[in-house]
Chain A
Amino acid sequence: MSRAADGAQPPAGAAGEREPVLALSGVRRAYGEHVVLDGVDLEVRAHEVVALIGASGSGKSTLLRTANLLEPIDDGVIRLAGRDISDPRVDADAVRARIGAVFQHYNLFPHLSVLDNVTLASRLVHRTPKAEAERRGQELLASIGLADFARAYPDRLSGGQQQRVAIVRAIATGPELLLLDEVTSALDPELVGEVLALVRSLADGGTTILMATHEMAFARDVADRVVFLDGGRIVEQGPSRQFFAAPREERTRAFLARVLPG
């Protein structure tokens, strides 16, 4: 009860460097009898890259969705830069505008051009003038080598290209936190590399990332910290190299034995 009971809300801006960007404590989510998240405590600090691993159904996606309020929680507290965003009085749209999210199936809007996909939130939510939003969008598209596709429709792009556009769309508004939900799971193996390279360059650039992933090698190389979820609980977490080199828990070892080759 300790964290919830104090109820003290640090004023916005005073959060400073000390507050984690995202902090979950005691987060619970259940569908009827089925408990998906069973009291999860997790912190993501500024410029940190945290990888969530675990079997299908371990609660990774649900956890990500609770973080940008796309999934209601049944108990616990979620703080964004120190502010309780699980309070029903909080404006969920405003919270989501500060968090970027990328999904497994890209979810680009098929009726909008690539550039319009990237600039939509800037123009509608952040009220950026169209010219400025498009200039920024073009820059971002150029940075991922897709400047020539700005006026094309998503349908024309390969899966890897679409997913990279989706990532650029998520960061176009400069979010404080980027949530990645198994962004390479729907891709052909030869297209995985280009998407991971983009995520790696964002991580190197200091973007704060919380990602669910099945790419163990990528988690080891890029993430600062790895969190292993099983049955809706965090079983083990630690610095990524240490985590993979010497897992402490029996369940972690069993999971890694299943997913790691050799």
Chain B
Amino acid sequence: MSAASPDGAWRPSELELGRRAFRRRQTWRSVLVSALSTLVFAGLLAWAVLGSPGWARVAETFFDPEVAIASLPRIAEGLLLNLQVLVFAAVGVLLVAITLATLRTLRGPVFFPLRAIAAGYTDLFRGVPLLIVLYLVGYGVPALEFFPRLPVAVWGTIAIVLVYSAYVAEVFRAGIEAVHPSQRLAARSLGLSHAQTMRRVVLPQAIRKVTPALMNDFVAMQKDVGLISVLGAVDAVRAAQIETAHYFNFTPYVVAGLLFVLLALPMVRLTDWVTARMRRREQIGSIV
């Protein structure tokens, strides 16, 4: 069947070579078809947009290159503030969320108040719109005159941490519950305490399971940091607003939007890569 060559090495048969050639042709055909359909689709889209009656005015007010270049430095400067808020918020969210998720897993009647607080917290902050939390924290808490005067960006960061922790805590909790109970049994049978079991056995597996979901939440947070502009912090969105008022042209908003996309892209790609890698690792040898 598969003729062995004189040197004893295996050589594919004529039939197999034919099948390979067929598969290669199929691959080329798929590439061609996808390229063609992309071209047609893009062409139709361009025709619909560029051919619309108001396109000239829209291009002028939203896509003015001169305004874009002139407003870019200030918006980029604002984006630096977004980045700072993002870094602090991400760290804060991770800490608070892991604490909340762990509290919810505590067993025993003594811990009821902690469990209840954690549960109430996630219920409350997943329900309240981020914008309202921003107003309450940004204007309400300073009005208590209990804290020294802090920049509004700090209050904005705290509001984002409050809301996102509630979501991320639920992601962690789902991950903790997805670790098979037999893992807990095995750890406890070795004499590990509940806390040791959580920290050394359950959480490491849980975090691995929910990494793609967490990264997705991080991408969502990357753009939601733009909402601190409502408190008056001069971030990228606020800067774009100011520039828009100055030039009487909406292009700065488009510029800010593009900058946020650029900020998110590396993380989006990284999320895809991590997800694909985990799938390859855990579902080895599957072709269907």
Contacts of A76 in B (CB 8 A): 1-2, 13, 16
Contacts A74-B16, A75-B12; is A1 near B287 (CB within 8 Å)? no
Contacts of A39 in B (CB 8 A): 1-2
User: B19 near A87 (CB under 8 angstroms)?
Assistant: yes
User: A26 near B2 (CB under 8 angstroms)?
Assistant: yes
Chain A interface size range: 20 to 34
User: A88 near B2 (CB under 8 angstroms)?
Assistant: no
Chain A residue with the shortest CB-CB distance to B17: A75
Contacts of A3 in B (CB 8 A): 1
Contact code string A1-25 (vs B, CB < 8 Å = 1, else 0): 1011100000000000000000001
User: A26 near B12 (CB under 8 angstroms)?
Assistant: no
Contact code string A219-234 (vs B, CB < 8 Å = 1, else 0): 0000000000000000
Question: Chain A binding site: helix, strand, loop or mixed by DSSP?
Answer: mixed
Chain A residue with the shortest CB-CB distance to B286: A70
State how many angstroms separate the Cβ of B66 from the closest Cβ of chain A: 56
Contacts of B12 in A (CB 8 A): 74-75
B23 located at the interface, meaning its Cβ lies under 8 Å from any Cβ of chain A in the complex: yes
Contacts of B23 in A (CB 8 A): 88
Contacts of B26 in A (CB 8 A): 88
Contacts of B10 in A (CB 8 A): 28, 35, 75
User: A75 near B13 (CB under 8 angstroms)?
Assistant: yes
State how many angstroms separate the Cβ of A129 from the closest Cβ of chain B: 27
User: B288 near A75 (CB under 8 angstroms)?
Assistant: no
Task: Give the docked Cα–Cα distance between A226 and B288 (Å).
Answer: 30
B window 250-288: CB within 8 A of A: 287-288
B14 located at the interface, meaning its Cβ lies under 8 Å from any Cβ of chain A in the complex: yes
Contacts of B16 in A (CB 8 A): 74-76
User: A72 near B287 (CB under 8 angstroms)?
Assistant: yes
A71 located at the interface, meaning its Cβ lies under 8 Å from any Cβ of chain B in the complex: yes
State how many angstroms separate the Cβ of B112 from the closest Cβ of chain A: 30
State how many angstroms separate the Cβ of B244 from the closest Cβ of chain A: 52
Chain A residue with the shortest CB-CB distance to B288: A70
Chain B residue with the shortest CB-CB distance to A87: B19
Contact code string A32-76 (vs B, CB < 8 Å = 1, else 0): 000100010100000000000000000000000000001110111
A89 located at the interface, meaning its Cβ lies under 8 Å from any Cβ of chain B in the complex: yes
B3 located at the interface, meaning its Cβ lies under 8 Å from any Cβ of chain A in the complex: yes
Q: Which of A1, A25, A86 contacts B14 (CB 8 A)?
A: A1
Contacts of B110 in A (CB 8 A): none
User: A88 near B22 (CB under 8 angstroms)?
Assistant: yes
Interface centre among A3, A41, A76 (most CB of B within 10 A): A76
B144 located at the interface, meaning its Cβ lies under 8 Å from any Cβ of chain A in the complex: no
User: B288 near A4 (CB under 8 angstroms)?
Assistant: no
A77 located at the interface, meaning its Cβ lies under 8 Å from any Cβ of chain B in the complex: yes
Chain B residue with the shortest CB-CB distance to A25: B1
User: B22 near A77 (CB under 8 angstroms)?
Assistant: no
Contact code string B229-264 (vs A, CB < 8 Å = 1, else 0): 000000000000000000000000000000000000
Task: Give the docked Cα–Cα distance between A1 and B16 (Å).
Answer: 11
User: A4 near B13 (CB under 8 angstroms)?
Assistant: yes
State how many angstroms separate the Cβ of A83 from the closest Cβ of chain B: 15
Contacts of A86 in B (CB 8 A): 19
Task: Give the docked Cα–Cα distance between A109 and B1 (Å).
Answer: 40
B15 located at the interface, meaning its Cβ lies under 8 Å from any Cβ of chain A in the complex: yes
Task: Give the docked Cα–Cα distance between A41 and B1 (Å).
Answer: 9
Task: Give the docked Cα–Cα distance between A88 and B2 (Å).
Answer: 18
Contacts of A4 in B (CB 8 A): 1, 13-15
Task: Give the docked Cα–Cα distance between A41 and B2 (Å).
Answer: 11
Task: Give the docked Cα–Cα distance between A75 and B287 (Å).
Answer: 17
Interface centre among B2, B12, B14, B26 (most CB of A within 10 A): B2
B window 7-43: CB within 8 A of A: 10, 12-16, 19, 22-23, 26
Contact code string A189-223 (vs B, CB < 8 Å = 1, else 0): 00000000000000000000000000000000000
State how many angstroms separate the Cβ of A4 from the closest Cβ of chain B: 4
**Closest CB pairs A-B (n = 10):** A26-B1, A4-B15, A75-B16, A75-B2, A26-B2, A88-B22, A75-B13, A75-B12, A88-B19, A88-B23
Known: A4-B1, A35-B10, A75-B2. 10 other contacts (CB 8 A): A4-B13, A5-B14, A25-B1, A72-B287, A74-B12, A75-B10, A76-B2, A88-B19, A88-B23, A89-B22
- What are 13 inter-chain pairs, A to B, with CB distance below 8 A? A1-B1, A3-B1, A4-B13, A28-B2, A39-B1, A70-B288, A72-B287, A74-B16, A75-B1, A75-B2, A75-B12, A86-B19, A89-B22
